[in-house]
Amino acid sequence: MLSLYTGKGVTPVIVILFFLSALYSLYRKSKLSINLNFLFIYIFLAYYLLLTVIFTQDLLVMTSKFILFPIFVYYTIPKNINGVIRILSIFKSFIGFTAIFGLYEYMQHFNLMVNFVKIDAVKWIQTMNLNSLYYPSSIFLHYTYFAYVLLLAFILVIVIPYKNRVLNLVYKTLIAISIFLTQSRIVWIAFGVILILSFILNRHGILTYRKLSVIVFILIIVVSLCLYFDVFAFISNYIGLRFSSLYRYGMADGSLGQRIGTLRNWGNYLDSDTIKAIIGSGFGGVNNYLSTYSFFNGYTTADSTVTSFLIDTGVIGLFIFLLSMFQILVIVVKGKGIFRELALYTIVASSIVSLTIDFWANYVILHIFYVVIICAFIGMRLTKQEK
C-alpha cells in the first residue's frame, strides 16, 4: 500500500507478489488453467503485448497491470464458495470504513491523505482542500475513483447482504449518501442503472399487507424529515448544478471537454498517422497522443478507458476487446446464482463508468476491480461444479 501512494517500486512489488503467489501455488500443487471461454480476452492481451513490444513502450508496466496483477489476485482467492464470499465480505467492510472516512472528510472539507500521498494525485487533493466546492475522495485520491469503489460496494451489498436487516439498511444508506456526495455524474448514472437492473432481476417475494404498511410508514417519516429540513431542494440543486454545467459550458467544461474533446480529436490522429490509429501504438501510446491531441493543453490523462484502449490498441484492438466483452456477457447470462448477478452488475457498472474513468491509472482501483470480477467468475464456476 505504501508503494501505491508514494509511487516508488509499484511494478517491482507486483512482480515479486506474482512470483511469490506462483511459488505458493506450485507448493499447493494448484494449477492456473486456461479457460477457452475467455479466448478473445487472451487474444486481446496477446495483441496488446505484441504492440507494446514492437513500439518499445513500457513492457514491464503493461505486463504487471494486465497479466501479472490479475494472476496474482487469482492465486490469492480461495477456490471454495465460502472463501470467495469471505473475501468479498472483507472488501465490502473495508469500503464501508472508507465511506465513513469520506463522510468525515466531506464535513471537514479536508483530506488527511494529503500528508501521505507523494504521487501527482496529491495535487488534486491539495486543490480540493482549498476549494469551497468540495468533492470527497477518501483514500482513493480522486472523487471519481472513490465513487466507483462505492458503486462496487453497493453491488456487493445487493448480492451478498448482511444477515442483520438493520445493518444492511444502514450500509446501503451510507454508501448511497457517499455516492451522492462524490458528485460523480457518470457514477450517478451507473448507480441508477444498477438499481433498475437489480429490481428487474429480483422481482421475487410477496408484498404482504404488513410489509406494505412498514414501507409506507418509513416513507412517510423519511419524506416528512426531508420536507422539514428542505432536503429535496438541496438534492435538486446539488444534482442540477452538476448536470447543468454540461449545458452551460459545453466542451469548456473540464470533464466533458477533456473526455469527449480528446476522443473527438482521434479523427485528426487518424488522418496524420493512419497506421497507428488502426493497429494501435502499444501500452503508453496514449501519452504520446495526449501531447498533441489532448483537448486541454497540459493534461496527461485521457480520463477514459475507452480512449486509452483505442489509442493503445487501435481500431483492431478495440474491436477484439468488444468481442471479448460480448463473449464474457454470454458466459454471465448462462450462469446462475448470486455470482452471476455480481458479474453482471460489475460489468455493466464498469462499462458505463469506463467512459469517464481510466481504470489503469490507479492501482488501488484496479486491485479492487480485479478482486470483485475474478471472485465473481470463480464463484460462478464453483456454483456450476456443485450442481
Say which range, 85-94, 264-273, 312-321, 372-381, has the weakest mean pLDDT.
264-273
Q: How far is CA 372 from the centre of its chain?
A: 10
In a domain, 1, yes or no: no
Residue 222, pLDDT above cutoff 60: yes
What is the predicted pLDDT for the residue at 380?
93
**In whole angstroms, what is the distance from residue 180 CA to residue 201 CA?**
24
How far apart, in whole angstroms, are the C-alpha atoms of residue 325 and residue 357?
Answer: 18
* Whether the predicted pLDDT of 338 surpasses 80: yes
User: Does 335 fall in a domain?
Assistant: yes
Look at residue 2 and tell me if it is in a domain.
Answer: no
Confirm whether 223 is domain-assigned.
yes
- The candidate with the shortest Cα–Cα distance to 10, out of 31, 296, 18, is 18
For residues 135-148, give the mean pLDDT.
Answer: 89
Which range in 36-45, 131-140, 172-181, 296-305 is most confidently predicted, on average pLDDT?
A: 172-181
pLDDT greater at residue 237 or residue 67: 67
State the helix-helix crossing angle for 10-28 and 69-76, rounded to 10 degrees. Answer: 40
> Does 232 have pLDDT greater than 70?
no
Between 252 and 158, name the one with better pLDDT: 158
d(CA 309, CA 305): 6
Q: What is the pLDDT of residues 287-331, one digit of tens each?
A: 888 888 887 776 777 778 888 999 999 999 999 999 999 999 888
**Range of 116-120, 169-173, 185-189, 220-224 with top mean pLDDT:** 169-173
210 pLDDT above the threshold of 80:
no
Answer whether residue 89 shows pLDDT above 90: yes
Higher pLDDT, 359 or 280: 280
With a pLDDT cut of 70, the percent of the chain lying above it is 76
Query: What cell numbers appear for 199 in the block?
Result: 429490481
HEC assignment per residue over the chain? CHHHHHCCCHHHHHHHHHHHHHHHHHHHCCCCCCCHHHHHHHHHHHHHHHHHHHCCCCHHHHHHHHHHHHHHHHHHCCCCHHHHHHHHHHHHHHHHHHHHHHHHHHHHCCCHHHHCCCCCCHHHHHHHHCCCCCCCCCCCCCHHHHHHHHHHHHHHHHHCCCCCHHHHHHHHHHHHHHHHHHCCHHHHHHHHHHHHHHHHHCCCCCCCHHHHHHHHHHHHHHHHHHHHCCHHHHHHHHHHHHHHHHHHHHHHCHHHHHHHHHHHCHHHHHHHCHHHHHHCCCCCHHHHHHHHHCCCCCCCCCCCHHHHHHHHHHHHHHHHHHHHHHHHHHHHHHCCCHHHHHHHHHHHHHHHHCCCCCHHHCHHHHHHHHHHHHHHHHHHHHHHHHC
**Low-confidence winner among 30-39, 144-153, 197-206, 209-218 (lowest mean pLDDT):** 209-218
Q: Tell me whether residue 55 is in a domain.
A: yes
pLDDT class for 103, splitting at 50, 70, 90?
very high
Judge whether residue 175 has pLDDT over 90.
Answer: yes
Higher pLDDT, 209 or 240: 240
3/365: higher pLDDT: 365
pLDDT score, position 323 = 93
Q: What pLDDT is recorded for position 290? A: 87
Query: Average model confidence (pLDDT) for the chain?
Result: 82
pLDDT band for position 234 (cuts 50, 70, 90):
low
- Does position 7 have pLDDT exceeding 60, yes or no? no
Residue 60 pLDDT greater than 90, yes or no: no
What local confidence, expressed as pLDDT, does residue 139 receive?
87
- pLDDT on residue 361: 76
**Residues with Cβ within 8 Å of residue 113, at least 6 apart in sequence:** 5, 125, 137, 138, 139, 141
Find how far residue 49's CA is from the centre of its chain: 23
| Domain of residue 345, residue span | 7-386
pLDDT at position 387: 61
Are 66 and 11 in contact by the 8 Å Cβ rule? The answer is no
Are 134 and 128 contacting, i.e. CB atoms less than 8 angstroms apart? yes
Question: How many structural domains is the chain composed of?
Answer: 1
Give me 245's grid cell.
Answer: 454545467
Give the model's pLDDT for residue 57.
65
Is the pLDDT score of 255 beyond 70? Answer: no
**CA separation for the pair 216, 207 (Å, rounded):** 12
Which amino acid does the sequence have at 128? M
Higher pLDDT, 180 or 28: 180
Return the pLDDT at 30. Answer: 59
Q: Is the pLDDT confidence value at 146 over 80?
A: yes
Mean pLDDT in residue range 341-351: 94
Residue 42 in any domain: the answer is: yes
